[in-house]
Structure formats: structure tokens, C-alpha cells
Structure 1
Amino acid sequence: MVNIGLLIIRLAIGLTFVGHGAQKLFGWFGGPGVVKFGEFLGTIGIKTGGRTWAILAGIFELIGGLLFSAGILTWLGAVLIIIVMIDAIITVHGKNGFWLTDGGYEYNFILIAVVLGVALTGPGDYVLIYKP
């Protein structure tokens, strides 16, 4: 049952991050795409290189989510996701305190804890590439 639990966690979080990355990079799933997300970054104080940061955030989410959900280099996928979440805390949510009800970083913190926990535990037996 542990392996099924790890699979559920990896798929739910990993595929959600794939979707977020696709929103930022390609404008899929109602997302802003690179140009609009880069402009948004300018409104929150990232005045230089908004497009570059938008592309990096999208790539980290997309690749991190793919690796994490597939159970391939799970630790690297977790690191990419954690970097994006720490950035979200620093640039957007940190100033609002902890609780999500105040726009805080509660959700980002929980995601960091879960992906770090899975990275330290291991992806389980159900991964995309067979492990003998």
C-alpha cells in the first residue's frame, strides 16, 4: 500500500506542476503564456528579465513535475519544484504571513514538505522505468 500511496502523491503533485509549467510556457489550460506571465512578474517587482524568469519557472515546473510524477530522478524533480515554491514565497506570499487565508505561504510550505518527504523516502516501486 505504501507504493500505491507514493504513486498517488507523485501523480497528483507532479502532474499538477506539469500543468502549471504548460500554463506558463504555452498558455495551455487557461494559463498566461510566457509573455503575459513575464509581464505579471514585472508587476510584482521583477522588472528585469521577466520573460527569462517566466521561461525558467515554466521549465522548472514542467520538467520537475514530469520527473516527480514518473519517479525518474525524483530527487531532481523535487528540487526543481522546491526552487519554484521558495521563489513564490519570496516574491509573492512571504510578506502575507503563513496562512493561505491571508494570501500567505501555507500551501507552498506544504508542497515543499511533501515533495521533500517523497524525495527522501524514494518514489516507491511504481515508476516509469522498471527497477529490478
Structure 2
Amino acid sequence: MIDTRTAPYAALVLRVALGILFLAHAGLKIFVFTPAGTAQFFGSLGLPPALAYLTILIEVAGGVALILGFYARIAAIVLIPILLGAIFTVHGPAGFFFTNPKGGWEFLALWIVGLLAQALVGDGALALKSTPASTSGRLAARSA
């Protein structure tokens, strides 16, 4: 049974935690690796270097959208391909455990589950701009 009194706050906690994670990862690409270094790394993987800049932009915009609750359900879905890309290009070949050299993919998989849960549970409490009913209605469970 879902506690309808506390569920919006659970969605808020999940939303903010996911947003902070995305801002942290974008910050790593901006301040540690630098955007140019990140682009070079993407190129070494056989990806277009410009994709690095798009990835950074999506991580920042998506992280902010999640934290503020600005179309959080949509932001959660939009961010999933970023993590899938990281799994299939870098972390997947390293194995399951994140402690492996080059990191594993289990943390990213858990992160995807969190994003899916956010998309399903909704924008949560204190959302700046909730996902429109026409979109969220497709994500909501139907009762018999």
C-alpha cells in the first residue's frame, strides 16, 4: 500500500538526490576532466567529440530540472540514455562491480532504476512545474 501522505516527499527526496548526482557528474566533466578533455575521451571511444558537450549540457539541465521539479518525470526519462551510453561504451566492458578498473555498471543500472521510479511516482512535493496531465496520465497506473 502507498502512503499518500508521505509519497510526495519520497518523490522529492529521490528527485533531489538524482539531480545532485547528475550535477556532480557534470561537474566532474567540467571542472576535473574539462569539456575539451571530455570531448577527447569521447573521441577515443569512437564517439563524436561534440557528443561530450551535449552530454554535459543534458546532465546539467536534467540535474537542475530534477532538483527544482521542473517537468521532473520527463527529465528523468531524458537522462536514461546518458547512463545507457556510459554503460555500453565505458563501464559495461569493465564488468558489474564499480570497484573494477574503469568502474563497473551496477551503480549506473541502479541510477537508471531510480530514474524510472521517479518517472513512475511523479514529480513529488515542492515541484516547480509538474509534468502536464496529458503526459503524466500515460505514466500513471490505471485502476480496474
TM-score (norm 1): 0.81
Equivalent residue for 1:14, pick from 9, 14, 19: 19
Taking the aligned partners of 2:70 and 2:117, their CA distance within structure 1 comes to 16
Cα distance per residue 1:78-130 (max 9 Å; x no partner): 12321110000011011122222332210000000001111111021221248
Taking the aligned partners of 1:14 and 1:128, their CA distance within structure 2 comes to 14
- Between the two proteins, the alignment pairs up a number of residues equal to 124
Deviation of 1:38 (Å) = 0.7
The answer to which structure, 1 or 2, has the higher relative contact order (CA under 8 A, 6+ apart) is 2
Gaps of 5+ in 2: 1-5, 132-144
Gaps of 5+ in 1: none
TM-score (norm 2): 0.75
**Highest Rg: 1 or 2?**
2
1:1-132 pair list within 5 angstroms = 1-24=6-29, 27-28=30-31, 31-46=32-47, 49-50=48-49, 52-102=50-100, 103-129=103-129
Deviation of 1:75 (Å) = 2.2
Moved over 4 A (4+): none
Percent of aligned pairs with the same amino acid: 30
